[in-house]
Every structure is written in structure tokens, then in C-alpha cells.
């Protein structure tokens, strides 16, 4: 299988390297030449445009930031889809609204190209360890064709249902993570007001039954959200907006998990 990859950031870059080191014929494209320099020591080829990358690929993996970024690299006369052949597949690793996946799938279907959503969780260290979580939505046959590529960097690889299901799972995962950040900060601030140093309380909770990924992240960034906000704040805000839109579409009450998430996002916007 010939693979194309766009989105060579802190997460996508290690994914691309694992693919080419796994023996797949890999083609890369990036807006900036500097983004391609780390792959000069690999067998990866470089395309002059997204369309050229599409023409060279049976599977195109996208790991760009948001909905508009995905639309931009896929559509238009120089977009990925312009070069792709019937029977090929686009895998969207970006976290975007499920409706955007369906919009892109409708566009791609006119060329006989299939789309699967494949958002990920775990970050660069999980990629390097081969333990990235991939959440998949789409036709089972399309998912199974792409699975050997995903297996170069991921375990587990979970097929959740039809197109958009992976995005729903990732958005809810990030909503809960954000809510956990808010709950953890509330506990740390309460402990501090009761005379327990924040760093010591982090140490205790990290070894106790209340431990969580969120608390571990706060502890790693000095016991506050101030240093975490520049890295994750905007992305978590985007995903929580998507979660709110999904809840509204489902006529679901937004409850305590949204309140805790809002509290965490508020702390990121107004550090103290």
C-alpha cells in the first residue's frame, strides 16, 4: 500500500516516521520545507502539492489541526482529492466535527474515494512506543485495509461504527479529560487552602485511588494549568465546542461534565 501523510507536527511527525520505518511506500507534503527536513534520513518521498501526494497514494492520512485545515488540504484543484484514484482512502486523524467527516465523504464519493475518521490519543511518546490509541469510524472494509498502516504506531485500534463514530468518541474523551482537569484543580486549590502544599497533594493523589491522566498532566506542568494552556487550551476549547454542538443535536442535557470542563477552560483563559 502506498501511503501519503500530511500534518507533520508533534504527533503526526512521529506517526509518519513509524509508517516509513514499517516498510510502507510513504509520500509527504508540508507547507514549509523545514517540516520535511527530519525525514531526509528515511525512504519517504516528497510531493510538490497535496494533489501530487494524492496521486501517489492508496491511503492518505491527515493529521492537521481542525475542520478548516482538513477541508483546505482535501479540496480544490491542488487538493489531495484532485489527485486520488477511485478505490483509494482518506483517513482523518485530526479531531473534527463528525458532520465535517460526512461532508468530506460526500465530496470524495464523487471520485470513488472512501473516507474513514481515525482520531488519535496518546501523543508523541505513545506513537514512539507503538501504543497510540486510534478511534475509527467508517466502513469495515475500508478500516481493515488501513489497519496494517495504523498498526505501525498504534495499539489499540478500535473500530467504533459508521463514519463519524471515531470523532464522537474522541470528542467525548477530550470533554471528560477537560472536566477532570477542572475537578483536579478544584481539589488542589481546596487542599492548599486547608494547608496542604499543592505539590505534596499531587504526589499523594498520583499514588492513590483518585489518580487520573488530568491530575498527572497538572502535576507535570507545575501544579497549575498556566503552562498547559498554551499547549492544549485552544484544542480543548475546540473539542468542547464540538461536544456542546453534539449534545444540542441529540437534545441531551449538558450536566456536570460540561460545568467542570467550563471551569477548566476558564482557568486556562485567566490563569491565577
Which pLDDT score, from 0 to 100, does residue 184 have? 93
Query: If pLDDT is split at 50, 70 and 90, which confidence band does 253 have?
Result: low
> Burial, 87: exposed, middle or buried (Cβ in 10 Å; 0-12, 13-18, 19+)?
exposed
Reply yes or no on whether the pLDDT at 8 is more than 90: yes
> Burial, 211: exposed, middle or buried (Cβ in 10 Å; 0-12, 13-18, 19+)?
middle
Q: Which phi-psi region, left, alpha or beta, contains residue 251 (left: φ > 0; alpha: ψ -120 to 50)? A: left
Task: Pick the range with the lowest mean pLDDT from 64-68, 107-111, 154-158, 246-250.
Answer: 246-250
Angle between helices 67-74 and 98-109 (to 10 degrees): 10
Query: If pLDDT is split at 50, 70 and 90, which confidence band does 31 have?
Result: very high
Q: Calculate what percentage of the chain has a pLDDT beyond 90.
A: 80
Residue 1, C-alpha cell as written in the block: 500500500
Cα(208)–Cα(201) distance, integer angstroms: 10
Query: If pLDDT is split at 50, 70 and 90, which confidence band does 272 have?
Result: very low
Reply yes or no on whether the pLDDT at 86 is more than 60: yes
Chain centroid, CA 61 distance in Å: 12
Is the C-alpha dihedral spanning 108, 78, 153, 99 positive or negative?
negative
**Is 45 in the active site?**
no
* Domains of the chain and any CATH numbers: 2-162 (3.40.50.720), 168-269 (1.10.1040)
Q: Which of 45, 111, 170, 213 is catalytic?
A: 170
Query: If pLDDT is split at 50, 70 and 90, which confidence band does 270 have?
Result: low
Q: Which residues pair with 92 in a beta bridge?
A: 62, 117
**Within 10 A of 212 (CB to CB), how many other CB atoms are there?**
16
- Which stretches within the chain are classed as H helix? 12-21, 50-55, 67-74, 80-83, 98-109, 123-129, 140-150, 165-193, 198-206, 213-220, 234-249, 255-269
Amino acid at each position: 500500500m502506498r501511503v501519503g501523510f500530511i500534518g507533520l507536527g508533534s504527533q503526526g511527525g512521529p506517526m509518519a516516521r513509524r509508517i516509513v520505518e514499517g516498510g510502507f511506500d510513504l509520500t509527504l507534503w508540508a507547507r514549509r520545507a523545514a517540516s520535511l527536513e527530519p525525514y531526509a534520513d528515511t525512504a519517504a518521498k516528497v510531493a510538490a502539492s497535496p494533489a501530487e501526494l494524492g496521486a501517489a497514494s492508496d491511503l492518505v492520512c491527515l493529521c492537521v489541526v481542525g475542520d478548516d485545515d482538513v477541508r483546505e488540504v482535501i479540496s480544490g484543484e491542488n487538493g489531495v482529492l484532485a489527485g486520488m484514484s477511485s478505490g483509494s482512502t482518506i483517513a482523518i486523524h485530526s479531531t473534527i466535527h463528525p458532520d465535517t467527516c460526512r461532508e468530506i465523504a460526500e465530496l470524495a464519493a464523487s471520485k470513488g474515494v472512501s473516507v474513514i475518521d481515525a482520531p488519535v490519543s496518546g501523543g508523541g511518546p505513545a506513537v514512539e512506543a507503538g501504543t497510540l490509541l486510534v478511534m475509527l469510524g467508517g466502513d469495515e472494509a475500508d478500516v481493515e485495509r488501513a489497519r496494517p498502516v495504523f498498526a505501525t504506531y498504534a495499539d489499540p485500534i478500535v473500530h467504533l461504527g459508521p463514519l463519524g463514530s471515531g470523532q464522537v468518541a474522541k470528542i467525548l474523551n477530550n470533554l471528560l479529560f477537560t472536566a477532570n482537569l477542572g475537578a483536579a484543580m478544584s481539589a488542589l486549590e481546596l487542599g492548599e487552602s486547608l494547608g496542604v502544599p499543592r505539590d505534596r497533594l499531587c504526589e499523594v493523589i498520583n499514588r492513590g485511588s483518585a489518580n487520573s491522566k488530568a491530575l498527572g498532566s497538572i502535576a507535570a506542568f507545575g501544579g497549575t494549568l498556566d503552562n498547559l494552556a498554551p499547549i492544549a487550551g485552544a484544542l480543548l476549547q475546540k473539542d468542547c465546542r464540538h461536544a456542546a454542538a453534539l449534545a444540542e443535536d441529540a437534545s441531551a442535557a449538558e450536566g456536570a461534565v460540561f460545568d467542570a470542563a467550563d471551569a477548566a477552560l476558564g482557568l486556562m483563559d485567566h490563569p491565577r
